[in-house]
Amino acid sequence: MRWSKEERAKGLAAVCQGKRGMELKEKGERLASVRPLFEGQHHWEITGWYWYAAGHNTHSTPCQTMEQAMAEALSVMKAERVKRKEVPQ
């Protein structure tokens, strides 16, 4: 599992794209995403960071920093693996 930057928007969408989030991937499959929470419609006023993965979504209770959201998402994904007994050897 590794983190990578969210893909950049293309065309006119790139003009008003705010700060990009991160994606946790394994073998090309996205397992979790961390995204900035913006105030109103302005994509430059970040009020927090939320993540979603494995049926969890923290949009209503955002983290203060991107690193904190990434750590929470990673710990949930690891717990899900242990729960399913998919721990890599």
9-56 confidence digits (pLDDT tens): 899 888 877 788 999 999 989 999 999 998 876 667 889 999 999 889
Alpha-carbon gap, residue 1 to 17, rounded angstroms: 26
Side-chain-side CA neighbours of 42 within 13 Å: the count stands at 5
38 burial (CB, 10 Å; 0-12 / 13-18 / 19+) is middle
| 48 close to 64: Cβ distance less than 8 angstroms | yes
Say if CB 59 and CB 34 are below 8 A apart: no
Predicted TM-score of the model (pTM): 0.80
Q: Are 68 and 48 in contact (CB under 8 A)?
A: no
Residue 57: how many other CB atoms lie within 10 Å: 12
57-71 confidence digits (pLDDT tens): 999 999 999 999 999
Q: Cα(26)–Cα(72) distance, rounded to whole angstroms? A: 17
pLDDT at 80 over 60: yes
Domain residue limits, the chain: 2-82
Q: What is the pLDDT of residue 51?
A: 95
pLDDT of residue 87: 56
Q: Which residue has the higher pLDDT, 83 or 75?
A: 75
